[in-house]
Amino acid sequence: MIIYFAGTPYDGVAGTDRQLAERLGDMHPVLYVDPPVSLLTPLLRPHLASAFRGSSLRREADGVWRIRPRVLPAMYRPGMHHVTAMLVRRAARRTARRLARRVGGAAGGGVAGVVVATHSDLLDAVKDTRTVLYVTDDLVAGSELIGLPRQRVAAARDSMAARAGAIAVCSPLLRDQFRERGFATTLVPNGCAPEAYAAIEDEPWPRDVPRFDRPAVGFAGHINARIDLGLLEAIADAGHPLVLIGPHDPGHHPVRFRALIGRPNVYWAGRRSFAELPAYLRTIRVGLTPYLLDDFNRASFPIKTLDYLAAGRAVVSTDLPATRWLRDFPDGRELIRSESTPRGFLRAVEEELAAEPTPELVARRRAYAAGHDWGCRARQLARLVHCDPVSPALEEPAP
């Protein structure tokens, strides 16, 4: 069994943690540990009460079980964060023992490894067990965004890095940062689920999305402080239809965002599930990865870039290190546009809008995405858990 301490709830956005856990579950039983929930949650936030009732062990997918640990109030206050980590480790340890009895022989060997993909120091949940620290973001650079003290996040990262049996990182920049501090790392980037988009052209047109008279541009993801709103405004200013798919952080330029979605050529679909995403991506010709070029984003690996390609759509991204890494693979430079200036970004979008997506081009995009599927990423992570060497061919672009 693998215990996977996630940085995001299982029933939230189907991002890195959930996608990897489900693919790992095809190989080994996985106990997915949600971020903890305060005992006061149902009282202070009644709208979350139903989610809170799901704190006990639940089977979520083939090979994947999930718990949401309950902890004391003020869980991340100074001093209390140590108590929180202790309670989460204890809940995972006890649940793993109970799960092993429930699933019988499949998990009878106990816990094979622990993967920590969150900011809390949870490595010591099970003694004498292989541990993997999986760093999916530069949480030190993003400490203000997640509302935690920078010094504490850095101390937890360094302590876990020094004790982990292996370190996996999600992006080329994170790999370089850890190696500069003397830590050996394995690059396990984000991936995509090509099978989810196999029948995208047969998806019914979403009833809430207008049928524009020209090909549309789209963005899928959280509209928050990571996103360069000015790039979206520039596309709308140029008169291009723009479809926005995903929630908006109320604190991120609320006035500008309301003005943007108030335009007749802009449609905001709001939060949609991963299962609904293919139908909405069907409505666009060009997908956007418009990340601000700050320290936090430079260390990220946006999933959406590969999702657009898996859907057969063109991609225009800002000039992130992860985008450069993807462009170094065969076909990458032709299939992924990367721009460092607002003017270049808009020009690239307009060129891709004008290019007719031939069946051959769509097939190339999908084939490229298929080389970066989540199953491949999960196998890399599983090798680290079991101390097996990871082939460099899985980690680096071919020359």
Same domain as 107, residue 235 = no
Contacts of 67 by beta carbon, 8 Å cutoff, 6+ apart? 31, 32, 33, 34, 55, 56, 57, 58, 91, 92, 95
Question: Mean pLDDT over all residues of the chain?
Answer: 92
Same domain as 209, residue 133 = no
Same domain as 168, residue 44 = yes
* Residue at 337: amino acid letter: R
Same domain as 341, residue 212 = yes
Same domain as 253, residue 169 = no
Mind listing the pLDDT tens digit for each residue in 49-59? 555 555 689 99
- The enclosing domain of 168 has a CATH number of 3.40.50.2000
pLDDT given at position 49: 54
Mind listing the pLDDT tens digit for each residue in 263-281? 999 999 999 999 999 999 9
Neighbours of 276 (CB within 10 A): 14
CA atoms within 13 Å, Cβ hemisphere of 186? 26
Same domain as 217, residue 200 = yes
Q: 0.85 exceeded by the pTM?
A: yes
pLDDT given at position 21: 97
Same domain as 293, residue 276 = yes
Mind listing the pLDDT tens digit for each residue in 136-173? 999 999 998 888 999 999 999 999 999 999 999 999 99
Same domain as 363, residue 383 = no
Strand order in the sheet with 314-318: 266-270, 242-245, 217-220, 286-289, 314-318, 336-339
Same domain as 337, residue 201 = yes
Query: Contact at 8 Å (CB) between 219 and 318?
Result: no
Instruction: Output DSSP code: residue 88.
Output: H
Same domain as 210, residue 83 = no
Q: Tokens standing for 228?
A: 């360069």
Count of the separate structural domains present in the chain: 2
Same domain as 32, residue 170 = yes
Rounded CA-CA distance 272/279 in Å is: 10
Same domain as 256, residue 351 = yes
Domain range holding 356? Answer: 194-370
